Amino acid sequence: MAGKQIGEFSLKLTTFINTPGPAGILRQVTWEGAVSGFGTVFTTVTYTGGSKAGTFADYGTAFMENGDFLHSIGQGTYESVGKHKWKTAGFFQLSDSRRISHEGEIDLVERSWKGKLFEI
């Protein structure tokens, strides 16, 4: 991904909901956890595609350590890198006008999504 690394994230899966969509089943997942430089983050991600690869849309809120909060709207891609593991890459538009990119790995057995954030 482009730019200097500005942080890391470690999120836990809290809910997993299947809903009908225009091209099959949409998987809506809620994640929460710590993101360095952003405090506690809650985000809802909708995944489309199959078990090997697909895309996602991400809508989140970060509750900053200083008492402020930021909203984010993002999108990205995922691809299988092993049994129940996916590599992810994407970007966010933040409510303070910044854009950041991210790359990470989802482990469904551990119910975790961990990765790095980069400036764009």
pLDDT tens figures, 12-46: 999 999 999 887 889 999 999 999 999 999 999 99
Structural contact between residues 101 and 90, judged by C-beta atoms closer than 8 angstroms: yes
Domain that holds residue 66: 5-119
Total count of domains within the chain? 1
pLDDT tens figures, 74-98: 999 999 999 999 999 999 999 999 9
Non-local CB neighbours of 27 within 8 Å, separated by 6+ positions: 16, 17, 18, 46, 47, 48
β-sheet bridge partners, residue 117: 7, 102
Phi, psi of 111 (to 5 degrees): 55, 45
pLDDT score of 1 more than 60: no
Q: What does the alpha-carbon distance between residue 94 and residue 16 come to, in Å, rounded to a whole number?
A: 24
